[in-house]
Chain A
Amino acid sequence: MLNPSIDRDLKKGSAELLILSLLEAQQRHGYEIGKLIETRSGGTVRFRVASLYPLLYRLEDRGYIQGRWVEKAGQRRKRFYRLTAEGRRILAERRSGWAVFVEAIRRITGEEHA
């Protein structure tokens, strides 16, 4: 069984992992990040404004991502986020941790079918 602490850490950790992953290839603004998560997860994972932005700010505070305002003619200005070097390192670490975790879960849950 998952102890409640893991459960809680997991939710937060996975959300961060999602964001970092989406920023790995290119810089994106908040709305785009939210929309990508929703579409790529087939609608199962959806962040609202009140959840998404605090998370972004936190990652920014930690120095994993960096945001800057970009203005384009005729458009409202937007804040784009990109991954920092530290963010890249953390992403790699989280990915392998995630893999171990998923593997652990698979071993437990997949045993019947093996």
Chain B
Amino acid sequence: MPDWKQPIRERIRGLNLAPAREADIVEELASHLDERYRDLLASGVAEDQAVRLVIEELESRGALAERLRQTRQPAEREPMPMGSETKGNLMESLWHDWKVAFRMMWLRPAFALAVAGMLAIGVAGNAAIFSIFNGLFLRPLPFADSGQLVDLDETAPKWNLERVGISNPDYNDWQKGNKSFDGMAFIHTGGGANLTTGDGGTQRIKTAEVTKDLLPVLGLKPLIGRNIQPEEDRPEGNRVILLGYDLWQRLFHGDRNIVGRVLKLSGRPYTVIGVLPREAMVPPDVDAWTPLAADVANGNSYYLAGVGRLKRGVSLEQARADLLRVHWSQQRNSDRVTSPIVGPLRDRYLGDYKTVTYILLGTVAVVLLIACVNIAGLMLVRGESRSREIAIRAAVGASRGRLARQLLTESFAMATAGGIVGVALGKVFLLGLVSLMPDDLPKWVRFDLDGRFALFCVAVTGLAALLFGLAPVLQAATLDTRNWLQEAARSTLARGKRAMLSALVVGEIALAIVLLASSGLLLQAFRKVMTQDPGFRPDNVLTFTLRLAPTKYPNSEQQLAFFNSLLERLRALPGAAAVSAASIVPLDGHTGYFFVAEGGKHFGEKDPNPVVLQVTAMPGYLNAMGMTLRAGRDFEDRDNRTSAPKVVLVNETFAKHFWGTSDVVGKRIRYRGNHNQDWFQVIGVERDNRHSGLDREIRPQVFASFALGPTNGLTVAIRGGSGVHNLAGPAREQIRRLDPDLPMYDVRTMSERLARSLWIRRAYSWLFAAFAAVAILLAAAGVYGVISFAVSRRTREIGIRMALGARPGQVMRGVLGQGMLLVSAGVALGLAAFQLAASLLESMLFGVSTRDLATYAAVVLGVALVGLAANYLPARRAAGVDPMRALRSD
């Protein structure tokens, strides 16, 4: 008898079995081979042939060990062993799961696409909007300990201004008297200068006048050169300039020898003392800094912005209380009209975007939720239809753990596919959004797709898929295999699960209703804003700004002469129908003064007294801008003569506010607090224009003649035909002929200015609508899925009914009724929920009521139609059931 033990031992050596166990196996197998050998000999096989055949029983060298390894190790790891199990080579088995998962997806592409698609939409929306939110509000500012930096300002509700700016004496007192700040710096922005460049041309640059402390407060040092010295930050100090990094690169190509050079700004020499680091981005988008050099003892104009660095451990509230104490202890502030603002630094620049971004974030979260609910529904339905397959697999030997892993792998595969597409789509979406953004966002705002957040979204939706994908296996745990099989064989949807599906559908319709109603109201508000009468005609008006160098035009006569001759030349341009200029055109900012009206309402020191917008206007400005004169006359050239009486135009709001009537031509006004000054006669009343924007309130406004409000800077308005923007070139040529050193800037049509002023509203209104549309489509897909599933499961029942005489119409009505019941419940729930959410929207609605019936009606009707469409297809399928086939089918 050959020795079988040796070849057996060789094959199982690698398993490192306990010696006794190994001996047992060797013994048992050897005994088997013995018998086989004997049988072979007995059947007449030759000896050497028999040995070969017996050894073949052991198969290849690896096979026995491999199979033994699969069985010998595990038992404890599987607490409830039930079926056959492939353990051991985990990688191989995972790979197998993946192959099956992809195969299943491939076999049912519609299902896989639906799940992955819903997931992708949810992830894309969330990732993109969150990236915007992150860029605007979460990413730390590029300064050391940026959390300690705060914005400083003054507020004066009685002047109907939220932010008035800080005055020289206040800034001085705050700086000296506070106990909460490591440092404070003050900035005057909005300035600019005509910089004479090396090639003899001039360029308009934006400058900020800053106190010497700004760099240290921000925690920065000059890139090259030095900071502003205390003696340069005083009235009559030396004129010095710190160049911004971008300007230094752009105009001087990063020349490190720039320090010490003298530059000409609006005709005045400034010595370059250094270059700012790239991070010096507060105030944003400024080309250069010059010293503020304010006379702190003097001045009651409010014009400064402030940046403070809090001491460690001091809260915003403590700092505010501290400044309030300092502020109100000053004699001049005893009327308590102004008070300090201490707030987060980024709010100054991004406050506008905050509400919008929060609300959009909420919206995408709702869409994500709907996507999750839909995925959950789909997985439940899917699990149901697979429960038979699963039951059979369990019956023929697959363990529950094994089945769960397979289902998890399938869910995971779909989540991965959806996630990848979603992130890619989110990137595209983000690029689209960013391209909608105006170009005057601060430079420190960057929008990158936030990878961690995208991952979070994938995880959330993936989890929904996993949880609900496991439903069939969870169900399996509660039934033994036989019952389970019978359950599966019966082909009816378990009552509990049907209730759950219905609840999911009602929930997602309710969520969609909330979004649709919100979006409907926002679009209503947008339409209302767009149809507001701006009070000027924005079409076909080209505007651009000029600011004369005071060195070249030192007095107002010279400035007036220049503007007059320029306007004269521009009026001669072919295509220019009306040409004039004003210090501030609509949508371009605010300069406020306080007025007293003769014979009008008197406002005491403590009464609310709105600040009045004052605009210096040249003759013909109302006409060029398309504004309307209600009464009286427009300015004429004679009003601008030095000897002429000072005259003004007022808007209707001003007239009504001060006199209670718009019949005010001939009445007189003057600046408050200056009793020796002349009165100015009102020569005309202008119909109100929405200077601050279509969705902003109208403030009292005064147009001053040039003689009354002389200025070196005016914005020219040229009204022409449809090609009015083509007049920019000829206009620039005329300016060059008059003054080759004078740059024109801010060249824009009024329509562009208007569109720009509305971009946020436009963007969020349409974004909201897009999300709402996605939401209702997702919800409709959910309704369709659930109802058509219910129908397919009830085929037999429907067949019986029809065999008993039910008409197709009755069946169809039954199914439709069942579906529309869900839709109605969702609508009711959604409207109720919206009542709670509506108050959040109120500030964005521009007076559109949150109980706007037309919007509600449209939303409910729309949802009902979509719901009906989603129900119609399965209902028609139900009506088309052939009773005979349905009865035979199971």
What residues make up the interface of A, taking CB atoms closer than 8 Å to B?
3-6, 8-10, 12-14, 16-17, 29-31, 34, 48-51, 53-55, 57-58, 61-63, 76-79, 90, 93-94, 96-98, 100-101, 104
Q: Within 8 Å of chain A (Cβ to Cβ): is B887?
A: no
Given known pairs A53-B25, A93-B480, the reply for A62 and B396 (CB within 8 Å) is no
Nearest-neighbour CB distance to chain B for A35, whole angstroms, equals 8
| A4-B103, A94-B397 given; A57·B84 CB < 8 A | no
Out of A16, A53, A61, A97, name the residue touching B394 (CB < 8 Å): A97
Q: Tell me which of A63, A76, A93 contacts B482 (CB under 8 A).
A: A93
Instruction: Please tell me if B821 contacts chain A, counting CB pairs below 8 Å.
Output: no
Contact B485 A97 (CB under 8 A): yes
The reply to whether A48 and B395 contact each other, CB–CB distance below 8 Å, is no
Q: Taking each of B31, B103, B104, B396, which has the highest tally of chain A beta carbons within 10 Å of its own beta carbon?
A: B396
Residues of A within 8 A of B85 (CB): 58
Count, A-B residue pairs, CB within 8 A: 134
Residues of B within 8 A of A93 (CB): 395, 480-482
**Residue from the list A14, A34, A57 in contact with B32, Cβ < 8 A:** A34
Closest chain A residue to B69, Cβ basis: A54
Between B32, B81, B99, B104, the greatest number of chain A beta carbons within 10 A of the residue's beta carbon is seen for B32
**Residue in A6, A9, A54, A77 with the greatest tally of chain B CB atoms within 10 Å:** A9
B479-518 Cβ-contact flags toward A at 8 Å (1 or 0): 0111001000100000000000000000000000000000
How many Å from the CB of A43 to the closest CB on chain B?
Answer: 14
B337 within 8 A of A: no
Cβ-defined contact, B396 with A14, below 8 A: yes
Determine the residue in chain A with the shortest Cβ distance to B85: A58
Taking a contact as CB atoms under 8 Å apart, the answer to whether A61 and B71 are in contact is: yes
B842 interfacial contact with A, CB 8 Å: no
CA distance A3 to B100 in the complex (A): 8
Secondary structure class of chain B's binding surface, majority of residues: helix
Taking CB atoms, residues of chain A closer than 8 Å to B161 are none
Q: Is the CB of A9 within 8 A of B398?
A: yes
Q: A49-B57, A58-B71, A61-B75 are in contact. Are A96 and B485 (CB under 8 A)?
A: yes
Q: A49 to chain B: which residues have CB within 8 Å?
A: 29, 32-33, 57-59, 64
**With the chains together, A50 CA to B391 CA distance in Å?**
30
User: Which residues of the other chain, A, contact B396 by a CB distance below 8 angstroms?
Assistant: 6, 9-10, 13-14, 17, 94, 97-98, 101
* Interface status of B63 (Cβ within 8 A of chain A): yes
Could you list 25 examples of A-B contacts with CB < 8 Å?
A3-B104, A3-B107, A6-B392, A9-B393, A13-B84, A29-B31, A49-B32, A50-B57, A50-B59, A50-B64, A51-B59, A53-B32, A58-B84, A63-B81, A76-B31, A76-B34, A90-B82, A93-B395, A93-B482, A94-B396, A96-B485, A97-B394, A97-B482, A100-B395, A101-B395
The tally of residues in B whose CB lies under 8 Å from a CB in A reads 52
Give the distance to chain B from A62, nearest Cβ to Cβ, in Å: 5
| Chain A residues, CB < 8 A from B394 | 97
B29 touching A53 by the CB < 8 A rule? Answer: yes
B637 within 8 A of A: no
Residue of B nearest to A13 (CB): B397
Chain B residues numbered 345-393 whose CB sits less than 8 Å from any CB in chain A: 389, 391-393
Task: Give the distance in Å from the alpha carbon of A55 to the alpha carbon of B63 in the complex.
Answer: 13
The answer on a CB contact under 8 Å between A4 and B68 is no
A residues less than 8 Å from B739 (CB atoms): none
- Listed in ascending order, the chain B residues whose CB lies under 8 Å from chain A are 24-25, 27-29, 31-36, 56-59, 63-64, 67-68, 70-72, 74-75, 81-86, 96, 99-100, 103-104, 107, 389, 391-398, 402, 406, 480-482, 485, 489
Considering only CB atoms, which chain A residue lies closest to B402 in the complex? A9
**Given A76-B34, A100-B392, 11 extra CB contacts under 8 A:** A6-B389, A9-B398, A13-B83, A16-B84, A31-B35, A34-B32, A51-B59, A79-B24, A93-B480, A97-B395, A101-B392
Cα separation A101 to B103 with both chains bound (whole Å): 22
Q: A78 touching B31 by the CB < 8 A rule?
A: yes
Nearest-CB residue, chain B, relative to A67: B28
Given A50-B57, A57-B68, A101-B392: A9 touches B31 (CB 8 Å cut-off): no
Knowing A10-B396, A61-B75, A101-B395, the reply to whether A54 touches B84 (Cβ < 8 A) is no
Q: Kindly state the separation between the CA atoms of A6 and B389 in the bound complex, as whole angstroms.
A: 8
* A93 to B864 alpha-carbon distance, docked (Å): 49
Residues of A within 8 A of B103 (CB): 3-4
Most-contacted residue by chain A among B34, B71, B74, B82 (CB, 10 A): B71
Q: Is A31 a contact of B31 with CB atoms below 8 Å? A: yes
Chain A residues whose CB sits within 8 angstroms of the CB of B392 once the complex forms: 6, 97, 100-101, 104
Question: Nearest residue in A to B78 (C-beta to C-beta)?
Answer: A62
Q: Is the CB of B64 within 8 A of A77?
A: no
Inside 8 A of B29's CB, which chain A residues have their CB? 49, 53
By a CB distance below 8 angstroms, the chain A residues around B36 are 31
Chain A interface, DSSP helix/strand/loop, else mixed: helix
- Which chain A residue has the least Cβ–Cβ distance from B394? A97
Judge whether B398 and A54 touch: CB under 8 Å: no
Q: Which residues of B contact A34 (CB under 8 A)?
A: 32
CB B1 to nearest CB in A, in angstroms, measures 10
B100 and A4 within 8 A (CB): yes
Of chain B, the residue at the smallest CB distance from A90 is B82
* A62 x B406 contact (CB < 8 A): no
- Tell me the smallest distance from the CB of A65 to a CB of chain B, in Å: 13
CB distance from A38 to the nearest CB of B (A): 11
B56: nearest chain-A partner, CB-CB: A48
How distant is the Cα of A16 from the Cα of B396 in the complex, in angstroms? 9
Chain A residues, CB < 8 A from B389: 3, 6
Q: Is the CB of B28 within 8 A of A12?
A: no
- A48 and B57 contacting across the interface, CB-CB below 8 Å: yes
Q: Smallest CB–CB gap between B111 and chain A, Å?
A: 14
Q: What A residues does B393 contact at CB under 8 A?
A: 5-6, 9
B30 (CB) vs chain A CBs: closest residue: A76
Residues of B within 8 A of A78 (CB): 28, 31
A10 vs B398: C-alpha distance in the bound complex, in angstroms? 8
Q: In the complex, A109→B57 CA distance in Å?
A: 35
Question: Which residues of B have CB within 8 Å of A61?
Answer: 71-72, 74-75
Bound-state Cα–Cα, A112 to B604, Å: 102
Cα–Cα, bound, A107→B57 (Å): 38
Q: Which of B24, B58, B81, B104 contacts A62 (CB 8 A)?
A: B81
Q: CA A84 – CA B393 in complex, angstroms?
A: 23
> Which residue of the partner chain A has the closest CB to B100?
A5
* B-side contacts of A3, CB under 8 Å: 100, 103-104, 107, 389
Report the minimum CB–CB distance from A1 to chain B (whole Å): 9
- Please determine whether A12 and B71 come into contact, CB atoms closer than 8 angstroms: no
- What is the CA–CA distance of A114 and B82 in the complex, to the nearest angstrom? 36
Give A61 Cβ to nearest chain B Cβ, in Å. 5
Q: Which residues in A have their C-beta under 8 angstroms from that of B402?
A: 9
Q: Which residue of A lies closest to B31 (CB)?
A: A76
Residue of A nearest to B25 (CB): A53
Query: Shortest CB–CB separation between residue A103 and chain B, in angstroms?
Result: 10
Q: Are B481 and A97 in contact (CB under 8 A)?
A: yes
- Taking CB atoms, residues of chain B closer than 8 Å to A50 are 57-59, 63-64, 67
Closest to B59 in A: A50
Q: List B contacts of A4 (CB < 8 A).
A: 99-100, 103
Complex contacts, B35 vs chain A, CB 8 Å: 31
How many angstroms between the C-alpha atoms of A29 and B31 in the bound complex? Answer: 10
Of the candidates A13, A30, A54, A98, the one whose C-beta lies within 8 Å of that of B71 is A54
Contacting residues, chain A, for B70 (C-beta < 8 A): 54, 58
A9 to B482, CA, bound (A): 18
Nearest A residue to B481, CB-CB: A93
Which residues from chain A contact B104 at a C-beta distance below 8 Å?
3
Contacts of A14 in B (CB 8 A): 396-397
- Beta-carbon contact of A77 and B32 below 8 Å: no
Instruction: Say how far A29's CB is from chain B's closest CB, in angstroms.
Output: 8
Residue of B nearest to A76 (CB): B31
Bound-state CA distance A76–B31 (Å) is 7
Look across to chain B and name the residue whose beta carbon is closest to the beta carbon of A6.
B393
* CB-nearest residue of chain B to A60: B71
Interface centre among B86, B392, B406 (most CB of A within 10 A): B392
Contacts of A48 in B (CB 8 A): 56-59
Q: Are A9 and B397 in contact (CB under 8 A)?
A: yes
